[in-house]
Amino acid sequence: MNQQSSASSIAESVRRGERTATEILESYLANIDRREKDIHAFNLVTAEQARAMAAKVDADVAAGRDPGPLAGVPIALKDNMCTRGVPTTCSSRILEGWKPPYDATVVTRLAAAGAVFVGKTNLDEFAMGSSTENSAFGVTYNPHDTSRVAGGSSGGSAAAVAAEFAAASLGSDTGGSIRQPAALCGVVGVKPTYGTVSRYGLVAFASSLDQIGPFTTDVRDSALLLEVMSGHDPLDSTSIPQPPLSLMPALDQDVKGLRIGRITDLPAGSDPEIEARLAEAFAALAAAGATIVDVELPSMKYGLTAYYLIAPAEASSNLARYDGVRYGRRVDAPDTNAMYGATRAAGFGEEVKRRIMLGTYALSAGYYDAYYGKALKVRRLISDDFARAYQKADVILTPTSPIVAFPVGAKVDDPLSMYLCDVFTIPTNLAGHPAMSVPFGTGAEGLPVGVQVLAPTLGEATMFRVAAQLERSAPGGAR
């Protein structure tokens, strides 16, 4: 079997009876056995559950039933998505061992499409971080260079696909947590429009920003997964009442006549090699018939500041439920208040505590208008700037990350330096727009570089059209 098989080719071969889901699964489990101890992509490998799911797919094929568009595709799930009867920890001690009584909507939809779940992936605790070094269960390492980080917070999901532990995976993106690790690990990562994919069963970090999306080896596979995952869900009050996305037809269209936005006031500080890859991406799209147009996003430089008030404020509210009474492990103490303090002190890591304190302060009496209220106004300014830019451009291109994967431990003592890794991804979350990272060559020391394609609300079809062209034009040829 070709270990490099894409999710779409795996599903096609299983549905035609050319390969069995069980055979494919075992090859991926062998990859996990061989390299997982060096990568630590998973908090839990669910081998026996996966074998049962693969056997069901094979039984459906044998009986002449169509198992679905993801038939036999091994998929890994970020460990902040609820899986019935399977531990869901958010990489936090406070939820260690918790088994949800229900599945997240995305889990239900992928299973119905024939997917095979191989495990729950490691993340920065409660999805707070950019390197997957904040996990209570250890660091995830980059499969391209295990001395370096995989990115975050969905580092385990990105590493699982890059290391061929799964054909695809799911992550969540609050400020870049799908796109940044996708860039650092050299895979495709997509954050869809807020509300197109249900958040029901996703353990909340910042509810107005969180969105679930796929990691895959190529653009076509991401389109396939999003078509399966998207569509209205009455269980999620923020779900957009519309049918699933239609993306596959866009992949074979060229980019002639499209306007590609180049931000003239983009925040500085990217590695020279990354700036060079971005310039090559613009040139490749121009050569393919697109028009490059200059756009301005003057408030983009305030995105990081606004995000680190809004997201912690929402997190401090969402994480208040983990108190040893309603949710989470309990640390016994002489009285209730002491128990609250002891439970949260023992259960949460340093980064989570830092953000809870920051968010609680921003929401406190006397400071709400000065901090949280002002951040919401900046969020609106960013949305308005994007709206003006999209009058001139159909999509916008930026780097995904200003740097390639950095050494493990290099930024753990400098939170601001770590936060700056998300300078190009955060504005899209604030606006609620779709964006995706596409591998585009390499940078320093031969490490992967990602180019980010941004689009307006529900502009996924055009975004994928451009991403497919970038993939075809990428240094080294199409994947």
Rounded distance between C-alpha atoms, residue 263 and residue 410, angstroms: 30
**Do residues 74 and 116 lie in contact, with contact meaning Cβ atoms separated by under 8 Å?**
yes
- Bond prior to 153 in cis (omega within 30° of 0): yes
- Residues serving a catalytic function are 78, 153, 177
Q: What angle do CA 111, 51, 151 make, to 5 degrees?
A: 65
**Do residues 261 and 295 lie in contact, with contact meaning Cβ atoms separated by under 8 Å?**
yes
Angle between helices 47-62 and 21-39 (to 10 degrees): 160
Q: What angle do CA 410, 413, 414 make, to 5 degrees?
A: 85
Of 419, 5, 398, the closest CA to residue 183 belongs to 398
Tokens read off for 360: 């609680």
Region for residue 330 given its phi and psi (left: phi exceeds 0; alpha: psi -120 to 50; beta: otherwise)? beta
Listed in sequence order, the residues at least 6 apart from 325 whose beta carbon sits closer than 8 Å to its beta carbon are: none
Amino acid present at 458: L
Rounded distance between C-alpha atoms, residue 221 and residue 92, angstroms: 30
What length does the chain have? Answer: 479
Rounded distance between C-alpha atoms, residue 131 and residue 140, angstroms: 8
Region for residue 44 given its phi and psi (left: phi exceeds 0; alpha: psi -120 to 50; beta: otherwise)? beta
